[in-house]
């Protein structure tokens, strides 16, 4: 496989660090503050422990380097980092791969759907309706955040991930409400435990092996 085709695995937090340092050198505290101001924490798990660990890892890989130390009053000294040429190459390659190549992901909700037949139908429908309402509430919050960022002068292109997340939540909400209604109306066949279905699968598998 050509080097340009190698998939580079880095965390969303590491990608966020590289992206911000592509704008200008920053110290970790400024990185965290900027991520929160831009609501990156809606998409990545952000805490100082993981951030400092990520910064150390990126420095070991040669993708960022310390350029100076900053001292303010009685605060501890802060190290300012900048992106290297190698880090810039990695950033652009990873973003390109993410945009172009779908990847298999394992969301918790899919696991819940796989096993919801173990619940009574009425309970499953109630829980799905609860999820739909939670998605509606979350989208209201994200829409307010998007409006606020745009009003504060952030270009739409720089917050396009929020548009995607809102559209994704809205599509899921509509689908979840549809499934909940199908369960309630009895249009989705429901057998708690799906023992009969398992038996059919066993019979089909057995007949195919002889």
Could you tell me the pTM of the whole model? 0.75
- Among the ranges 72-86, 88-102, 190-204, which has the highest mean pLDDT value? 88-102
Q: Does residue 129 have a pLDDT over 80?
A: yes
For position 117, what pLDDT does the model report?
Answer: 94
Give the CA distances from residue 27 to residues 9, 11, 37, 49, 52, in Å, rounded to whole numbers and listed in that order: 24, 19, 15, 14, 10
Q: Does residue 93 have a pLDDT over 50?
A: yes
What 3-state class would DSSP assign to 26?
strand
Q: Worst-scoring range by mean pLDDT, 21-35, 72-86, 165-179?
A: 72-86
Q: Which residue has the higher pLDDT, 207 or 164?
A: 164
CA angle 101–106–108, rounded 5-degree value: 140
For position 78, what pLDDT does the model report?
Answer: 86
- How crowded is residue 108: how many other Cβ atoms within 10 Å of its Cβ? 7
Mean pLDDT of 53-71: 91
């Amino acid at each position: 496989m050509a080097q340009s085709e190698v998939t580079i695995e880095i965390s969303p937090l590491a990608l966020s660090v590289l992206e911000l340092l592509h704008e200008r050198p920053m110290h970790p505290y400024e990185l965290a503050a900027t991520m929160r101001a831009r609501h990156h924490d809606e998409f990545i798990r952000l805490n100082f422990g993981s951030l400092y660990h990520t910064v150390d890892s990126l420095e070991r890989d040669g993708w960022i380097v310390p350029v100076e130390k900053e001292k303010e009053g009685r605060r501890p000294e802060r190290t300012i980092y900048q992106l290297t040429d190698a880090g810039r190459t990695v950033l652009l390659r990873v973003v390109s791969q993410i945009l172009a190549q779908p990847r298999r992901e394992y969301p918790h909700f899919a696991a819940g759907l796989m096993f919801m037949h173990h619940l009574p139908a009425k309970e499953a429908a109630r829980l799905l309706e609860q999820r739909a309402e939670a998605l509606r509430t979350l989208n209201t919050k994200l829409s307010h955040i998007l409006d606020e960022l745009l009003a504060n002068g952030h270009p739409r292109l720089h917050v396009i991930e929020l548009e995607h997340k809102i559209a994704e939540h809205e599509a899921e909400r509509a689908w979840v409400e549809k499934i909940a209604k199908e369960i309630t109306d009895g249009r989705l066949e429901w057998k708690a435990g799906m023992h009969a279905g398992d038996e059919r699968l066993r019979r089909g598998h057995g007949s195919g092996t002889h």
